């Protein structure tokens, strides 16, 4: 199967559909039955052609000499990329016979995919990004209405539309989108994240919270819960992994509560060093206030760790209270403290939740997620073959 894949930014530092793309390509590189041309942006003003395995060619297109911050998705950068990607992909499609096209992000490359699909009668799949909701729904001026019009054309003209959460699907459907949307969730790198209980300090009970340190991540409420517990359990430690605009305020709070010797702020930690942080943990807590499934949730499960998380929309889609997670209400320090204490005192419950979480994480391995995408590709190809007769 030959695939043309469009994606503005690659790889991405902040996750998103670009991060998904990286892991999918890594799995596709293992499949000799796939041949992929991957068109993305260059950040140095030059064209580059790279190999990703033996069967994937990466084409990095320049956005103009001297253009700064090309990795940032400004309207100017996206417009330049859409223009260049269409011209370049048109040449590729004239040279090669593709079975389908994949557009990662409706707002970034949806219109380009639609134009290529029309010209070459090429079926395409759209992968939704969170930015797509705002862009698609923006219709205040002439320019925004035109953009929204073409994005609707791109959406309706696609063979399949894929969202990675029910919340993202619902948000697009709420914009009166008359298109079926499939859900294929993001995965976790089970080769990079795995259990290692021997790495823990047996004399401590360490709570790890890995997230951006912003008000919406709810770390403040975890610190308050920790203060309640630290009075009764001297072996308790809290490791806050990450950085953000609330860090200084929370460091001040820790000092004011008199628990500075038991709480550590690591700052930003490189991806390759995150495993060591998880291996110190007895439990991972995700106290986020917003409806998002943080990467850290699946990473914690893959490391065989019991998880306590706020019962927001996204986490409830994949997790079951009392089976592979203990859910808590948002902004509730007392309930957080109760659930953490429950795990401190009940080793059997802790072990059961950790075991079930690990089994769930393995279902979300990128190898399994890639298979789901490949099933969509096969269905797209088969439908197109039938339609052409």
Q: Could you give the 3-state DSSP secondary structure of residue 269?
A: coil
Q: What is the mean pLDDT of residues 57-69?
A: 76
Which residues are CB-contacts of 29 (< 8 A; sequence separation ≥ 6)? 52, 53, 54, 55, 56
Cα-trace Rg, the chain = 23
| Residue that wins the pLDDT comparison between 137 and 246 | 246
Task: Specify the DSSP element, H or E, that contains 42.
Answer: none
Determine the CATH number of domain 2-187+366-388: 3.40.50.2000
Q: What is the mean pLDDT of residues 257-272?
A: 94
pLDDT > 70? residue 128: yes
Q: Categorize the per-residue pLDDT at 293 as very low, low, confident or very high, splitting at 50, 70 and 90.
A: low
Dist. CA 235–CA 231, nearest whole Å: 10
Nearest residue to 185 (alpha-carbon basis) of 170, 174, 209, 169: 169
Dist. CA 81–CA 87, nearest whole Å: 10
CB 168 within 8 A of CB 133: yes
CB 167 within 8 A of CB 313: yes
CB 330 within 8 A of CB 310: yes
Strands in 307-310's sheet, in edge-to-edge order, are 263-267, 236-241, 205-210, 283-286, 307-310, 326-328
Domain segments of the chain as ranges: 2-187+366-388, 197-363
Q: Which of 41-45, 92-96, 191-195 has the lowest mean pLDDT?
A: 41-45
Q: Which residue has the tokens 């291996």?
A: 279
Q: Exposure of 270 by Cβ count < 10 A (0-12 exposed, 13-18 middle, 19+ buried)? A: exposed
For 197-363, give the CATH class.
Answer: alpha beta
Q: How many helices (H) and strands (E) does the chain have?
A: 14, 14
Percent of the chain with pLDDT over 70: 93
Q: Could you give the 3-state DSSP secondary structure of residue 135?
A: helix
Tell me, letter by letter, the H, E, C secondary structure of 312-341.
Answer: CHHHHHHCCECCCEEEECCCCHHHHHHHHH
Dist. CA 54–CA 101, nearest whole Å: 20
Nearest residue to 166 (alpha-carbon basis) of 196, 128, 195: 128
pLDDT > 70? residue 45: yes
Dist. CA 94–CA 55, nearest whole Å: 19
Average pLDDT of the chain, as a whole number: 90
| 2-187+366-388 and 197-363 have identical folds | yes
304 token code pair: 């065989």
């Amino acid at each position: 199967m030959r695939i043309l894949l469009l994606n503005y930014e690659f790889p991405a530092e902040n996750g998103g559909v670009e991060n998904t793309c990286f892991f999918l390509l890594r799995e596709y590189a293992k499949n000799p039955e796939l041949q992929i041309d991957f068109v993305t942006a260059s950040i140095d003003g030059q064209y580059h052609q790279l190999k990703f395995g033996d069967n994937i060619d990466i084409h990095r297109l320049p956005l103009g000499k001297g253009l700064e911050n090309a990795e940032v998705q400004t309207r100017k950068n996206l417009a330049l990329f859409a223009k260049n990607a269409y011209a370049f992909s048109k040449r590729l499609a004239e040279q090669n016979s593709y079975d389908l096209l994949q557009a990662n992000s409706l707002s970034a490359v949806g219109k380009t995919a639609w134009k290529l699909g029309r010209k070459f009668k090429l079926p395409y799949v759209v992968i939704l990004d969170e930015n797509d909701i705002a862009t698609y729904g923006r219709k205040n001026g002439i320019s925004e209405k035109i953009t929204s019009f073409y994005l609707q054309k791109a959406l309706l003209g696609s063979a399949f539309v894929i969202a990675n959460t029910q919340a993202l699907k619902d948000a697009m459907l709420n914009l009166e989108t008359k298109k079926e949307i499939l859900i294929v969730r993001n995965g976790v790198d089970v080769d990079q994240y795995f259990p290692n209980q021997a790495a823990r300090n047996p004399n401590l009970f360490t709570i790890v919270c890995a997230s951006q340190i912003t008000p919406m991540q709810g770390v403040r409420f975890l610190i308050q819960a920790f203060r309640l517990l630290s009075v009764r359990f001297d072996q308790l430690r809290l490791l806050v992994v990450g950085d953000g605009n609330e860090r200084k305020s929370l460091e001040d709070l820790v000092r004011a509560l008199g628990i500075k010797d038991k709480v550590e702020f690591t700052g930003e930690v490189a991806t390759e060093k995150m495993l060591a942080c998880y291996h110190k943990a007895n439990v991972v807590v995700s106290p986020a206030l917003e409806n998002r499934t943080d990467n850290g949730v699946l990473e914690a499960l893959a490391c065989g760790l019991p998880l306590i998380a706020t019962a927001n929309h996204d986490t409830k889609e994949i997790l079951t209270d009392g089976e592979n997670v203990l859910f808590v209400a948002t902004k509730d320090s007392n309930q957080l403290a109760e659930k953490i204490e429950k795990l401190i005192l009940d080793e059997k419950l802790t072990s059961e939740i950790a075991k079930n979480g690990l089994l769930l994480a393995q279902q979300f391995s990128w190898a399994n997620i890639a298979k789901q995408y490949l099933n969509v590709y096969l269905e797209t190809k088969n439908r197109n073959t039938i339609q052409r007769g």
